[in-house]
A and B are shown apart, each in its own frame.
Chain A
Amino acid sequence: MTVTTASPGIERELSDIVGAANCIVDPGELRTYECDGLTGTRVRPRVVVLPATTEETAAVVRVARRYGLPIVPRGAGTGLSGGALPVAGCIVIGLSRMKRILAIDLENQRMRVQPGVINLDVSRAIAADGYYYAPDPSSQSICSIGGNIAENSGGAHCLKYGFTVNHVVGATIVTAEGEIVELGSAGADPLGYDLMAVLVGSEGLVGIVTEAVVRILRTPEATRTFFATFPSTDEAGACVSGIVAAGIVPAAVEMMDRLAIEAIVKATGVDWPLDVGAALLIDVDGTAAEADHTATRAVEIAQLSGALEVRTPRDARERQLMWKGRKSAFAAVGRISPNYYVQDGVIPRSEIGPVLREIAAAGARAGLRVANVFHAGDGNLHPLVLFDARVEGEEHAAEQVAGEILKICVRHGGSITGEHGVGADKAAYMGEIFNEADLETMNFVRCAFDPAVAFNPGKVFPTPRLCGDRPGTYVAHETEIAGTAGRG
């Protein structure tokens, strides 16, 4: 039997749990959920369910499992690697309605939040008390904590403060069996294996986060910001290395190349010079004395490295403008190119200069421009490959260049992703950095959590993998037993 729309049985059971309004089957409404921030690939899910509680989420998972539907968790849908991309016939569980802050514990510097809480809202809730949540992806005003956990998201200030994995200490998850399990503990050293380390960055493969406990930090006493321009990315790269070699750990070091600067100036009107090869936006923070000292040193190093100009903001408003320029870079590039492909790769910090030249050459060979705006302090590149989808073959060429960029990163000893995740987009590249045994070992982890591969199948791993003790696709098998759905 082949059923192509949700059978009434599933729909009824799901809407009994979450209410009809939160169980979406209308093809028009489903369109919103066909992709995440990686908009080039679209798959229509069978049904989208928006639970309001942990218990509802668990009940939904149990129904989905009973009917053998693959499950794709979804946060705010801003992911750039197709992590929330539906798979054929799946149920998407969207966490966007679960956006309450549950508890603020300043004494222990922890906060308990639901997964749909927007990243920036965590910091906002405690700003008046002088605290903040450190991981700050550029998408922080639109992405969710659940998505951040799944992707182990980073941000400009992760250079000094670490990534999501260093700031999420506990979670409530719904497992593939539909059970509710607490991970982590109120103490700093939970007993047993570090399951939080597995959960963070697991891209929706091991469980659905329905509550998270995050660590919050005291806002530093002082932050000093400066903006420096350079003749080329070589000098800018040397400046980054020089600052680090001087024993300074800046809070953030962001680099923009000529094309990125041009786009940002066009889009935001910041008064940055256009006739430069590269710019760095640097934050140092800490106690006032420390921040003043390190800022002075860092500026000296920028000048020694060949900076054309160094600007320091006069006040908080000017500082905000500089950062607004940086954080709007992706959107800004949309102003200078009808389409672009966002790549995310990592290289050793000391290789920035040579790698950017190789990337430019790869773009030039394909007749495409590449803009760079990235977290230079930790070597996390974001080359944006510009193309025009209306021109026959350009999109394909851009994808080729983006792929080549990853190989360049790998050749230089880096990684295929620093923060956007593997998702559906880069699964095929996992083999560039991991061999069969490495991948098999990672699959041990997945199988310990989800032996039936019900959560986010087809993501992360390059080839479909099963879990040893159940030969055959468990998902398909269950479906047939239930007799209610097939694969068409």
Chain B
Amino acid sequence: MTSQADDLRERLAPASVDEAAAMVRERAESGATFAFAGGGTELALGYEPERVDALLETTRLDRVVEYAPSDMVVSVEAGMTLAALQTTLAPQRQRLALDPALPERATIGGLLATNAFGPLRTRYGTLRDLIVGITIVRADGTLARGGGKVVKNVAGFDLPKLMVGSLGSLGLIVRATFRLHPMPERERWYEAGGLTAEGVRALCRSLIARRLEPAAVFARLEPGGSHYALAVLFEGFETGVDAQGASWLESANAAGAQIVDAGPEGVRIAAGAAHPRGPVRIRISVPPAAFVETHRDAVLPLGDCFEAECVAYPTTGTFLLGGFVRDGAGSRAVATIAAARAACEALGGSLVVADMDAALRGSVDPYGTLPQSFPIMRRLKERFDPGRRFNRGRFLGRL
């Protein structure tokens, strides 16, 4: 973060979308470069920006623009926190079906830019599946919109989805519109412990075989690093949830899992448990059927080097690790990450180091092998931000 601090000439905190656009526009001539911050929860993702003249904070853009409960659609400004949004929706028994880390701090714009997610992606997908409209400030300071405020719409290119995960490198997200989901009548978590990786995979297959429809599934690596506890959330109307729970317990029992709790409240797993934190954070994405191989070839070796929590979303093929380098393992860390990444890439997936400590930064690439389509991505950046003013050098391929 040193270079940022060295260059930084101003901090900007616009109070309106128009003011944000004006701030970018006014600095276009000088070619000033920008970084953006919402709640500041994911600022380490990607490469360190090459140069930051102005840091624009979105936290004052925190209004609900329009909320139509009967249409289950909401438009908000990008600086609003997820928690504040959920509070707005709760009286109507509606919600944005997204459960990422730190909802009290994370802003809508930041969540979109980093494509943040939580266990609910099992059923509801990620923000790309929830967003229906967007307004951005372009690098030339122009406001531009894509999508709209209805849930179904195929007019023009899908700018809203393109912005998801773009890390502020194509435009500053200032407003977004989402489709909402009803708050379930009943939610019930179940947890089964003592499962091997093979056991997790087998249970997930039985969920599918039994045609159960969990809203969330995640597996937490238990202390010791060889077994998982599998948490499953059923939600919906009471009768349906209870029937699903009973069916799931049956298959978990048959598989010899230790059922931790099946009381009426279920296991209310703290939101934090699904989001490992720490100075080093790793995000693995592989085909779900490669759960066992990924555990063996990436998670176990990384566990040797890092004192880390590991949470996997086995039905989507996602593994999240968070922790720090073990004492004395520093010299091996770089090679271990490289080997784990090679294993994931060989499975057709990827390994992203979302955050790392100073010792690793510089010797570990956050992303790994560039996709074959990267030249198209570069051309997108060139069209949207020819002067590379927005988050210069931070995104994949140092765009």
Contact = CB atoms under 8 A, between A and B. Distances in A.
Interface string A405-420: 0000000011111111
B213 A287 contact: yes
A447 B377 CA distance: 12
A421 interface: yes
A423 to B, nearest CB: 10
B185 interface: yes
Given A191-B368, A348-B71, A182 B373 contact: yes
B150 A348 contact: yes
- Interface size, A (range): 35 or more
Interface in B350-394: 350, 352, 367-368, 370-374, 376-377, 379-380, 382-384
B155 interface: yes
A166 B151 contact: no
A172 B358 CA distance: 39
B317 A191 contact: no
A446 B285 CA distance: 29
Given A197-B162, A289-B243, A448-B382, A186 B287 contact: yes
Contact of B146 (A108, A289, A442, A460): A442
A440 B144 contact: yes
Interface in A288-319: 288-294, 297
Interface string A186-224: 111111111101101110000000000000001111000
Given A193-B380, A422-B156, A108 B288 contact: yes
A447 to B, nearest CB: 5
A286 B210 CA distance: 12
B350 A191 contact: yes
Given A219-B211, A287-B212, A447-B383, 13 more contacts: A158-B152, A182-B372, A189-B115, A191-B368, A192-B377, A201-B154, A249-B181, A348-B73, A348-B149, A413-B150, A434-B145, A441-B138, A446-B157
Contacts of B143: 437
A130 B213 CA distance: 15
B51 to A, nearest CB: 22
Interface string B174-215: 000000011111000000000000000000000010011100
26 contacts: A166-B125, A185-B285, A187-B348, A192-B371, A193-B170, A193-B380, A194-B128, A197-B164, A198-B157, A244-B72, A247-B182, A286-B236, A287-B247, A292-B239, A348-B71, A349-B70, A414-B148, A415-B155, A416-B155, A419-B152, A421-B154, A430-B155, A437-B142, A438-B145, A438-B146, A441-B136
Interface residues of B, number: 86
B195 to A, nearest CB: 18
B318 A188 contact: yes
Contacts of A189: 115, 165, 283, 285, 318, 350
A447 B156 CA distance: 14
B376 A188 contact: no
Contact of B383 (A163, A194, A438, A444): A444
Contacts of A380: 152
A286 B244 CA distance: 10
A378 B152 contact: yes
A375 interface: yes
Contact of B161 (A165, A286, A418, A449): A165
A290 B157 contact: no
A136 to B, nearest CB: 14
A409 to B, nearest CB: 9
A236 to B, nearest CB: 15
B316 A188 contact: yes
A447 B386 CA distance: 13
B158 A200 contact: yes
Contact of B376 (A181, A248, A294, A444): A181
Given A165-B158, A197-B161, A448-B379, A287 B211 contact: yes
B210 to A, nearest CB: 8
Contacts of A430: 155-156
Nearest to A435: B145
Top 10 A-B residue pairs of the complex, sorted by shortest distance between their CB atoms: A186-B348, A290-B240, A197-B161, A187-B285, A187-B349, A247-B182, A289-B243, A107-B289, A444-B383, A441-B144
B338 interface: no
A349 B132 CA distance: 15
A263 to B, nearest CB: 24
B93 interface: yes
A118 interface: no
Nearest to A344: B154
A247 B183 contact: yes
A289 B239 contact: yes
Contact of B154 (A109, A286, A418): A418
B158 A197 contact: yes
A68 interface: no
A293 B184 CA distance: 14
Contacts of B243: 287-290
B159 interface: yes
Contacts of B286: 186-187
A391 interface: no
B238 to A, nearest CB: 8
